Chains A and B, each alone.
Chain A
Amino acid sequence: MIRVSIDPAPIELALELAALEERGAGGVASFTGVVRGGDGITALELEHYPGMTEDALCTLAEQAMDRWSLLGVTVLHRVGRMEVGERIVFIGTAAAHRREALAACAYLIDRLKTDAPFWKREWRGEAASWVEARESDAEAASRW
């Protein structure tokens, strides 16, 4: 089972985890990315490339599925505006054992940051600025 979704709607964590647990796998791992406050940030806005972004996420999910013989993969990424504390991204993986589930989960979030076309804008009240790509993200992706 592969579930990929790019959507403005909020991420329903319990539902997504329950769906993965229903796969009957021994281990379910997950990562949730949340809008961080601090540095005056009041909201984030995410833009994507309709068509290409979905394809990129599906390709990553299929790669993880094959590499770690997963029983389930869920990759959800929101777009549009999100306030501080709201969920931006959710990665869930179900595998027979914890090692595969945890490794696949880390792989997916690392690679998503460099292989899927999204662009993040930070809002500080009325002022907005586009986020610059980080070298550390490129390095994290290359270790896989």
Chain B
Amino acid sequence: MELLYFAWVREAVGVGQERVDPPEAVYNVADLICWLAGQSPGHAAAFADPTKLRAAIDQRFVSLDTPLHGAKEVALFPPVTGG
């Protein structure tokens, strides 16, 4: 699964993109965020507070309780601030 990070999430993790293969127990986006938080100090900083994060699966906005089943690309980012 390809992961993409934007804005301060990217800066905290230190990379904008990475490939991961989470364990079976990681069922939805919220689980993924918890699992990622344990991957490095940068990940811990980025994923400490899931309420500050939003997500997209295969370029569609999703809520954090959305299952990851079959997801190819998951993006994690702060609420959008365009316009």
Contacts and interface: CB of A to CB of B under 8 A. Distances in A.
B77 A119 contact: yes
A: contact size bracket = 20 to 34
B83 A113 contact: yes
Given A49-B59, A55-B59, A130-B7, A117 B83 contact: no
Main secondary structure of the interface of A (DSSP, over half): mixed
- Size category of the B interface is 10 to 19
B6 interface: yes
A144 B83 CA distance: 17
Given A55-B59, A117-B56, A49 B6 contact: yes
A77 B82 contact: yes
Nearest to A53: B82
| Most chain A beta carbons < 10 A, residue from B4, B59, B60 | B59
A52 B6 CA distance: 13
Interface of A: 33, 46-49, 51-52, 55, 77, 88-89, 109, 112-121, 130-134, 137
